[in-house]
Amino acid sequence: YPFESLVNDLMDERDASRNPLFDVMLVLQNNETNHANFGHSQLTHIPPQTTTAKFDLSFIIEEDRDDYVVNIEYNTDLYAEETIHNLAYQLENIIQHVTSTQALKIQDIQESPDMLEWVETNVNHHTLYFPENNSLQ
């Protein structure tokens, strides 16, 4: 059964600029890296430079010996840089809490005062003005 036919059968309307199955992707690259020996030469990993997001939002987490490296790739038409910085901050906060207390549920994690202030200032207080003589459609 061709994928395109499946998508067309399941969706009445489709936006060709968006993935039909998901909006956010999480990738964990935990492959064991083999270090080849080339005598006096040494291989160095150089991450690719991308300028086009493949999906709306992607979190790519890679193991790096004793650490993890998190890359966030996003569609700049959909997300502002500040939003991505805040998502990264929230992800870091969640990871720190979960790794320090193994029995902790994500719903029990407290947001930092800085994040709560940002939400209060930037998310909750938006006033929308509509024309008084027109109806909304």
pLDDT tens-digit readout, 86-121: 889 888 887 787 777 777 776 776 766 666 666 666
Looking at every residue in the chain, the average pLDDT score rounds to 78
pLDDT surpassing 60 at residue 125:
no
Residue 124 inside a domain? The answer is no
| Nearest CA among 90, 83, 55, 88 for reference residue 70 | 88
Same domain flag for 56 and 71: yes
* Residue 74 neighbours by CB distance under 10 Å: 19
Same domain flag for 27 and 63: yes
Same domain flag for 60 and 91: no
Residue 10 inside a domain? The answer is no
Residue length of the chain: 137
Q: Sheet of 57-64: strands edge to edge? A: 24-29, 57-64, 67-74
Is residue 111 within 8 A of residue 89, CB to CB? The reply is: no
Q: What pTM does this model have?
A: 0.62
Percent of the chain scored above 90 by pLDDT?
9
Same domain flag for 69 and 99: no
Same domain flag for 27 and 55: yes
Average pLDDT estimate for 54-71: 85
Same domain flag for 53 and 101: no
- The residue among 123 and 25 whose pLDDT is bigger is 25
Residue 101 inside a domain? The answer is yes
User: What per-residue confidence (pLDDT) applies to 112?
Assistant: 65
User: What per-residue confidence (pLDDT) applies to 129?
Assistant: 67
Domains: count for the chain: 2
User: What per-residue confidence (pLDDT) applies to 124?
Assistant: 59
Residue 123 pLDDT level (bands cut at 50, 70, 90): low
Residue 54 inside a domain? The answer is yes
User: What per-residue confidence (pLDDT) applies to 120?
Assistant: 65
Show the domain range for 115.
Answer: 80-119
